[in-house]
Amino acid sequence: MASRPFIYRGQGFSLRGEKGRFVLPPSFRKVIRESSEDQRVLCVAKHDRFDCLTGFGLSRLDRLEEELDREEDRAYQAGRAFDRDTRSAQLFGFQEVPFDDSGRFILPDFMVELGGLDDQLFFQGGGAFFTIWNPEKLFAMGSEWDAAKAACRAMMADAAKPAKGRGRK
């Protein structure tokens, strides 16, 4: 896999379309493909602290063991217990979801349930990964998420406009 870090930034929004498919934002789709040796595979997992999912490309696999080592070291330094087996199962327990050239993908039902998702997804860049939110769950977050909430509201309003007027000024 690639040696440079791949960064997910910005936001996106998708309504569940025909055949139950969502659409990855183009900028995220591009990073996933670049980071996954041009494979169209979205890796999806439950976020460990927030009521949402995370998404990333295959390149992140190379860094998961390093992440485990850092987390274990931090816990040791802080005098906290660390269950490496449980955390490893969380990090490596992601689902690989294929997507087409247009970014359309179907989330497995258990991932939809795990993320508390519905018919709308908001994508928020987070550096090495991005988060995938049910907008209502995002709106319940604290004020530190105000910028993401504002972007989500604007994208929801844009998606509600008739297709002819969407995104053009």
pLDDT digits (tens, 9 = 90+) for 131-168: 999 999 999 999 999 999 999 999 999 999 886 655 54
Is 96 within 8 Å of 42 (Cβ atoms)? yes
- Average pLDDT over the chain reads 90
Report the pLDDT averaged over residues 114-141.
96
Asked if pLDDT for residue 38 goes beyond 60, the answer is yes
* Predicted TM-score of the model (pTM): 0.84
Instruction: Please tell me the CATH code under which domain 11-161 is placed.
Output: 3.40.1550.20
Which amino acid, 88?
S
Cα–Cα distance list, 51 to 45, 46, 90, 137 (Å): 11, 8, 15, 7
